[in-house]
Structure 1
Amino acid sequence: MNVDLARAQWFKSSRSGGAKECVEVAFLDGGHVGVRDSKNPTGPALVFSAAEWDAFTGGTPDGRSDRS
């Protein structure tokens, strides 16, 4: 998937404590969602389809994303 991130508007969660150990998210053209490491904003970013992002965020509160 090739998505242009040049105009992405990155943001951190409102629950972020302001430390640098955060991820940033950007809602992109075509319904895609970008995720990057806030410590390395010029580094690589992951890009998810809307369905992938919905599955991830929908499963997080009930623990489906836990690795234990």
Structure 2
Amino acid sequence: MNEKSMTGLSWFKSSFSGEQGACVEVADARAMSSAVFIRDSKDQDGEVLSFRPAAFAAFVNDVRAGGYDS
């Protein structure tokens, strides 16, 4: 997707992120481009990462299962 087409995306943060500002925002664009986009919530005009939905779902499942807990 180009930058202009990304302006219509709905971005959201996890309800666990709080107000610290150290979080990311996610936009589900599967209906438009078969992708899930991620950006830094402190730099909304900065770089945007793109992931295939299956890869992002696997990551979320790993996080929920505690796979990245230290």
The percent identity for this pair of structures is 38
What does 1:1-68 correspond to in 2, within 5 Å?
3-4=1-2, 5-28=6-29, 29-64=32-67, 66=68
Query: How far apart, in 2, do the equivalents of 1:25 and 1:32 lie?
Result: 11
Q: Give the unaligned 5+ runs of structure 1.
A: none
Query: How far apart, in 2, do the equivalents of 1:44 and 1:30 lie?
Result: 17
Q: Mean alpha-carbon deviation: is it higher for 54-63 or for 39-48? A: 54-63
Q: How many residues align?
A: 65
Q: Root-mean-square deviation (CA), in Å?
A: 1.8
After TM superposition, the runs of 4+ consecutive aligned structure 1 residues lying more than 4 A away are none
Q: What TM-score results when the alignment is normalised by the length of structure 2?
A: 0.76
Q: Give the unaligned 5+ runs of structure 2.
A: none
